[in-house]
Amino acid sequence: MSDAAPELLTTIGLEIHCELATATKMFCGCAVGFGGEPNTRVCQVCLGHPGTLPVPNERAVAYAIKIALALGCRIAPSSIFHRKNYFYPDMPKNYQISQYDIPLGLAGSLDVTTGAGTRAIGITRVHLEEDTGKSLHMGSGGRIHDADYSLEDFNRAGTPLVEIVTEPDMTSPDEGRTFAQELRSILEYLEVSDVRLEEGSMRFDANISVAPPGERGAKVEVKNLNSLRSLHRALAYEEVRQREVLAGGGTIDQSTRHWDEKSGVTRPLRTKEHAFDYRYFPEPDLVPIKPSPEWLEGITAGIPELPPARRRRFIADYGLTPYDAALLVATRAAGTFFEDAVAGAGNVEPKLVANWLANDLLGRLAERSEDLATTKVTPQNLGALVGLVAAGSISGNQGKVVLDEMIATGRPAAEIVDERGLRQVSGRSELEAVVGEVLAANADVVERIRAGDTKPQGFLVGQIMRATKGQANPAVVQELLRDLLQR
Amino acid sequence: MSATPGSARPPWTLTATELIGLLRSGDLSATELTQSLLERIEQVDRDVRAYITVTPERALARAAAVDRARAAGEDPGPLAGVPVAVKDIIATKGVRTTAGSRILDNYIPPYSATVAERLDAAGLPMLGKTNLDEFAMGSSTENSAWFPTRNPWDLGRVPGGSSGGSAAAVAAGEAVWSIGTDTGGSIRQPASLCGVVGLKPTYGLVSRSGLIAFASSLDQAGPFARSVADAALLLQVMAGRDPRDSTSLPNPVPDYSAHLDDGVEGLRVGVVSQLMGEGVQAGVRQRVQEAITLLGKLGAEVGEVSLPTFDAGIDVYYLIAPAEASANLARFDGVRYGLRVDGEDVAKMNSRTRAEGFGAEVKRRIMLGTYALSAGYYDAYYGKAQKARTLIIHDFARAYEDFDVLLSPTSPTTAFAIGEKTQDPLTMYLSDVCTVPTSLAGATAISIPCGVAPEDGLPVGLQLMGRALDEVTVLRAAHALEEELGPMPHPPLWGSPSE
Amino acid sequence: MSISKEEVEHVARLARLALTEEEKVLYAEQLGRILGHAARVTSLDTEGVPPTAQAIELANVFRPDEPGKPAPSLTQEEALANAPAVEAGHFRVPRILEAED
Ligand SMILES: [Mg+2]
Ligand SMILES: [Zn+2]
């Protein structure tokens, strides 16, 4: 922070909960989904009816292991579930099946690059648990503290959740946000989550402390951060708040605070001192997970090239700027679209393809609230379009017109160019006659130019373009004019 | 009731094995048999109070379906038509299931336990749901929120528990056989006190899906019957892997009836010295001793075995079971089903609902278990108990190097008087001393009647314990002993039914 | 082995049990005696003995990620059938005071 006292250091650790994109819930056969009629994706198991038992979803376990491996974690040879006991009306059994002392994955790390350089952020653990239902707070404001009563919907209850806990290795709100972004794109690459933050499929809790070098600051936990933006805002707010408290001679004590998105501040959470005795004990309804070497090999084989490696390759092999590389690698789809487009473009500067994709196509799709998954434009067709522009067959402006048509119809560039007769005329011989005629028709202007007044030259170019219905290659026209006027 | 050819006695007095023959030959219809049992319930249950809910329409409908199938020449299954009673802690879709608790008053499960489904698929009409100690927490059925069940041998005494209703129903002729659940002895002890056969299967042999959990690492459902052969038949229906229970064992299920007559020649029987000591009622020890002598005569190699950690069994059990229960019973919070007592906020609503919905013993165990798991005490109590549990398992392993089955009384005493132990939970807990070690080891054990104690004329039960998944051997030894002991006398309440 | 009234109150709060003063006294006394009896366990030598959470040796028991297995979902009506209080397809509960987690 700019206004922050320089002798104080900020320490940040994150705890990320991510819903897995399985077909069914963690421990029962109910469908996983978002929205819909309340209490319609529930059964006796996820409603916690007496006598029901959990049976783990094999794909959810595989996804969690895939994440742990992608983050460089050690996979526990024998991992078990625990019961985390506390009462809350959106938690059907009043205990959460989670993991405690033997999580699926331990001790990984993830490189994060900010203006301050690249640093490895430690991953403490990756574990599997079940999500809760949703409480709707009824009454003035619909906020929890001024609600008259609440309504419970258990459609989300039992959705597989992976919890990822980092070491307190981050030193700034920017680094915190960048880590979250990087993790999000890795999860997207692994195809284990739809990472829709707006639907709560990724949720953040943060620990942040500020203290002089060498000293341990009191850990302040900030909860309820449901977007990268609120994560960054909350961290920035907390950093300033704590620095100001310390600057004012005050002290920070270990506490939990709640981020209020509307007012943009963190507020202390009222919690009874007894409230957090979770009485963890091994879940007797479940047996250990002991991944076989074959299983682990299979999961590892399913891990694609991840964003860090792909960015490096795009910069090295395609000569992209770090900025463009980051932009195109952010989602698996964009990166793949780019590589296919480059292939479709023949021997063209990949940089040029990157520009057309990043600036022109993505921009236009965003305006139409489309994306690479939904657009009619294929990577090959985009490549071909860039090829035409690069070969000078059409001008850049013509290319943009063609692109609009491609987005609307999905037809190949060449087809549109021919149909509209957009081909650019670049041959001197073909153009010489037209230029001659225009010069003859404007003898007076020619005189003035030859007398040294070059202003009207633009007028002549315009006349030539009109005579060629805009198909004349401007560069060639300029050349011809220069030659002919010098005579 | 129509007297049945091939038997002077009414159908409710016969064993399942006898009845199966009559049903097959067509001398008796499933409907007649079910009627006979419903009438018997009508006659005696006002005194015994074995049932919380009787389901006549349902039972008769299932029986009629079996009769129709037989009439149509189809095979409805070997046991089809023999009615069964089910402990009210086993979920039955559409049929009130209370677990003996006020907190589940009028709870109608939206699904059925796997065990209940298997009984129905086998064509066993369900007569009703039997009484129990609330959430199976007790050894006398006095902890039922509804009413205590009485011992058919002496209505002033308890039937044992927690499956007292299922045991009493079979002893009183209100069911041919029944289903109970055993966490620390809840099948074997009431079987002993009511003079019937009760088997606790190996943990994982019978699905727990739909069995309302008390202590998840210990709970097992099992059969009550009037003969070892009947128990073997009913176990056959219940046993086997269930995809709805992660802890259900994949092992192939053997034929439990095939080796009943193989005898005990050369079988090594270890008598557990810790369980034959001074804590045991004289008449109980005497009958068990006589049975041991008989086993010797039959060619078994009987010896003594010492399992030192058995003394700690009760304490280990009363730390582990309540700890698991404290979490298992957290779901009864007045939100999704069952009783709700209102409060101005959720926490108060939860606390009042649970205070009114749970009985004293359940609250006591929730408190005990919560304490044993809470910060600062976990290692000293729950953690320590888990390690002691390992020691008990090691003791068994050593004993089974020298013996094939272990033998002890099932209960140190015969049936005690209603109200005798309710004031002192600890003495009540101690009546499980013989049964909890097998539960902690997850192994199997059976209780069979071995006569009545001379001093009080009440049934004595003998327990045979076996290795995990060795029900076949346990049943074989029990059957041999049963034959040698001869027919168990019936309780006075049985009368002399030969109209 | 004795347990204080405060400990009983703390445990009752964790377990969401509204106890009467009489019950607090009773449970303090009874839990004390039961745990006192358990001294026979706490005094056992378990040095290097692994804990047993389960008496069976199963591992890797899973279900396929297929809807309806091992049991189908309920309809909203079935889901709410046993509910003490319902509103607009939801389970209705009194106001939630503090967010515990
Ligand atoms: Mg979590
Ligand atoms: Zn479900």
Provide the pLDDT for residue A275. Answer: 55
Residue C25 lies in a domain: yes
**Record: contact C49-B387, CB cut-off 8 A:** yes
Give the number of the ligand closest to the Cα of residue A204. Answer: 1
Could you give the 3-state DSSP secondary structure of residue B269? strand
Task: Give chain B positions within 8 Å (CB) of A285.
Answer: 213, 216, 246-247
Which of B101, B139, B162, B431 is an active site residue? B162
- Separation of alpha carbons B156 and B45, rounded Å: 15
Q: Which domains does chain A have, with CATH numbers?
A: 9-298 (no CATH), 305-419 (no CATH), 428-485 (1.10.10.410)
A245 Cα distance to chain centroid? 35
How many contacts does A have with B, using Cβ atoms within 8 A?
100
**Record: contact B331-A94, CB cut-off 8 A:** yes
- Separation of alpha carbons B260 and B258, rounded Å: 6
Nearest Cα of chain C lies from the Cα of B446 at a distance, in angstroms, of: 18
- CA gyration radius for chain A? 30
Q: CB-CB: which of A23, A139, A290 is closest to C67?
A: A23
pLDDT at A171 over 80: yes
Phi-psi domain of B83 (left: phi exceeds 0; alpha: psi -120 through 50; beta: other): beta
Residue C95 lies in a domain: no
pLDDT at C99 over 70: no
Mean pLDDT of A16-24: 96
Residue C20 lies in a domain: yes
B186 an active-site residue? Answer: yes
Residue C27 lies in a domain: yes
B84-87/B177-182 β-pairing: parallel
- Going by C-alpha positions, the residue among B359, B144, B354 that lies closest to residue A94 is B354
Of residues B463 and A340, more confidently modeled: B463
Mean pLDDT of A379-392: 81
Number of neighbours of residue A347 by Cβ within 10 angstroms: 8
Residue type, A454: T
Task: Give chain C positions within 8 Å (CB) of B204.
Answer: 56, 58
Which residue out of A285, A287, A289, A290 would a mutagenesis test of the B interface target, given it has the greatest number of B Cβ atoms within 10 Å?
A285
pLDDT in tens, chain B (499 residues): 444 444 568 999 999 999 999 999 999 999 999 999 999 999 999 999 999 999 999 999 999 999 999 999 999 999 999 999 999 999 999 999 999 999 999 999 999 999 999 999 999 999 999 999 999 999 999 999 999 999 999 999 999 999 999 999 999 999 999 999 999 999 999 999 999 999 999 999 999 999 999 999 999 999 999 999 999 999 999 999 999 999 999 999 999 999 999 999 999 999 999 888 888 999 999 999 999 999 999 999 999 999 988 888 999 999 999 999 999 999 999 999 999 999 999 999 999 999 999 999 999 999 999 999 998 888 889 999 999 999 999 999 999 999 999 999 999 999 999 999 888 777 777 788 999 999 999 999 999 999 999 999 999 999 999 999 999 999 999 999 999 998 888 999 888 654 4
pLDDT at A199 over 50: yes
Specify the DSSP element, H or E, that contains B323.
helix B310-328
- Going by C-alpha positions, the residue among A211, A221, A285 that lies closest to residue A242 is A211
- Going by C-alpha positions, the residue among B402, B496, B481, B410 that lies closest to residue B445 is B410
- Going by C-alpha positions, the residue among B406, B449, B154 that lies closest to residue B287 is B449
The sign one gets for the Cα dihedral B350, B329, B379, B426 is: positive
DSSP-assigned letter for residue B182: E
pLDDT-derived band at A274 (thresholds 50, 70, 90) equals very low
**Record: contact B217-C55, CB cut-off 8 A:** yes
- Separation of alpha carbons A45 and C63, rounded Å: 14
pLDDT at A205 over 50: yes
Residue type, A378: T
Mean pLDDT of A19-44: 96
- Separation of alpha carbons B186 and A21, rounded Å: 43
Mean pLDDT of C67-81: 95
**Record: contact A151-C62, CB cut-off 8 A:** no
- Separation of alpha carbons A105 and C53, rounded Å: 22
Contact A279, A85 (CB under 8 A): yes
Least confident of A266-270, B124-128, C83-87: A266-270
Give the number of the ligand closest to the Cα of residue A97. Answer: 1
Task: Give chain A positions within 8 Å (CB) of C77.
Answer: none
Provide the pLDDT for residue A387. Answer: 81
What residues contact residue B118 under an 8 Å CB cut-off, 6+ apart? B237, B238, B240
Provide the pLDDT for residue A351. Answer: 86
List the domain range (segments joined by +) for residue C13: 5-42
Which residue out of C1, C16, C57, C87 would a mutagenesis test of the B interface target, given it has the greatest number of B Cβ atoms within 10 Å?
C16
Provide the pLDDT for residue A2. Answer: 46
Provide the pLDDT for residue B165. Answer: 98
Of residues B246 and A263, more confidently modeled: B246
Task: Give chain C positions within 8 Å (CB) of B316.
Answer: 41
Residue C69 lies in a domain: no
Task: Give chain A positions within 8 Å (CB) of B217.
Answer: 284
Give the number of the ligand closest to the Cα of residue A16. Answer: 1
A17 alpha carbon to ligand 1 midpoint, in Å? 7
Residue C96 lies in a domain: no
- First vs last Cα of chain B: how many Å apart? 9
Supply angle C-alpha A247, A248, A252, rounded to 5: 80
**Record: contact B336-C97, CB cut-off 8 A:** no
Nearest Cα of chain B lies from the Cα of C3 at a distance, in angstroms, of: 10
- Separation of alpha carbons A31 and C55, rounded Å: 33
- Separation of alpha carbons B341 and B354, rounded Å: 8
- Going by C-alpha positions, the residue among B173, B87, B174 that lies closest to residue B132 is B87
pLDDT at A141 over 90: no
A372 Cα distance to chain centroid? 14
Which residue out of C62, C77, C86 would a mutagenesis test of the A interface target, given it has the greatest number of A Cβ atoms within 10 Å?
C62
pLDDT-derived band at C97 (thresholds 50, 70, 90) equals confident
Q: Count the helices and strands in chain C (H runs, E runs).
A: 4, 2
Q: CB-CB: which of C10, C69, C75 is closest to A274?
A: C10
Provide the pLDDT for residue B497. Answer: 59
Provide the pLDDT for residue B499. Answer: 40
- Separation of alpha carbons B193 and A313, rounded Å: 78
What residues contact residue A373 under an 8 Å CB cut-off, 6+ apart? A333
Q: A residues 223-262 near C, CB within 8 Å? A: 223, 258
Provide the pLDDT for residue A145. Answer: 67
Supply angle C-alpha B452, B100, C23, rounded to 5: 100
> Residue C9 is part of a domain; what is its CATH number?
1.10.20.60
Q: CB-CB: which of A47, A52, A285 is closest to B247?
A: A285
B227 an active-site residue? Answer: no
- Going by C-alpha positions, the residue among A148, A106, A99 that lies closest to residue A123 is A106
Provide the pLDDT for residue A61. Answer: 98
**Record: contact A93-B331, CB cut-off 8 A:** yes
**Record: contact A152-C90, CB cut-off 8 A:** yes
pLDDT-derived band at A176 (thresholds 50, 70, 90) equals very high
* Chain B neighbors (3+ CB pairs < 8 Å): A, C
Provide the pLDDT for residue B3. Answer: 43
- Separation of alpha carbons A62 and A259, rounded Å: 33
> Minimal Cα distance from B330: which residue of A?
A94
Least confident of A7-21, A248-262, B26-40, B176-190: A248-262
Angle formed by the axes of helices A332-344 and A307-318, to 10°?
20
Mean pLDDT of A460-471: 78
Number of neighbours of residue A71 by Cβ within 10 angstroms: 22
Q: Is C10 on the interface with A (CB under 8 A)?
A: yes
Provide the pLDDT for residue B496. Answer: 66
C62 alpha carbon to ligand 2 midpoint, in Å? 15
Q: CB-CB: which of B107, B390, B441 is closest to C49?
A: B390
- Going by C-alpha positions, the residue among A376, A16, A44 that lies closest to residue A204 is A16
Provide the pLDDT for residue A5. Answer: 47
Provide the pLDDT for residue A89. Answer: 96
- Separation of alpha carbons B108 and C82, rounded Å: 7
Residue C19 lies in a domain: yes
Average pLDDT along chain A: 87
B348 an active-site residue? Answer: no
Instruction: Show the DSSP H helices in C1-101 as ranges.
Output: 5-14, 21-37, 39-42, 76-80
Q: What is the 3-state secondary structure (H, E, C) of chain A?
A: CCCCCCCCEEEEEEEEEEECCCCECCCCCCECCCCCCCCCCCCCCCCCCCCCCCCCEHHHHHHHHHHHHHCCCEECCCECCEEEECCCCCCCCCEEEECCCCCCEEEEEEEEEECCEEEEEEEEEEEEEECCCEEEEECHHHCCCCCCEEEEECCCCCCEEEEEEECCCECCHHHHHHHHHHHHHHHHHHCCCCCCHHHCCEEEEEEEEEECCCCCCCCEEEEEECCHHHHHHHHHHHHHHHHHHHHCCCCCCCEEEEEECCCCEEEECCCCCCCCCCCCEECCCCCCECCCHHHHHHHHHCCCCCHHHHHHHHHHHHCCCHHHHHHHHCCHHHHHHHHHHHHHCCCCCHHHHHHHHHHHHHHHHHHCCCCCCCCCCCHHHHHHHHHHHHCCCCCHHHHHHHHHHHHHHCCCHHHHHHHCCCCCECCHHHHHHHHHHHHHHCHHHHHHHHCCCCCCHHHHHHHHHHHCCCCECHHHHHHHHHHHHHC
The count of domains in chain C is 1
User: Averaging pLDDT over each range in A176-190, A352-366, A439-453, C37-51, which range is the top one?
Assistant: A176-190
Provide the pLDDT for residue B430. Answer: 79
* Chain C neighbors (3+ CB pairs < 8 Å): A, B
Cβ burial of A397 (10 Å; 0-12, 13-18, 19+) is exposed
Give the number of the ligand closest to the Cα of residue A46. Answer: 2
- Give ipTM to 2 decimals: 0.95
Examine residue C70 and say whether the peptide bond preceding it is cis (omega within 30 degrees of 0): yes
Mean pLDDT of A451-464: 81
Bridge partners, B405 (sequence order):
B269, B466
Could you give the 3-state DSSP secondary structure of residue B226? coil
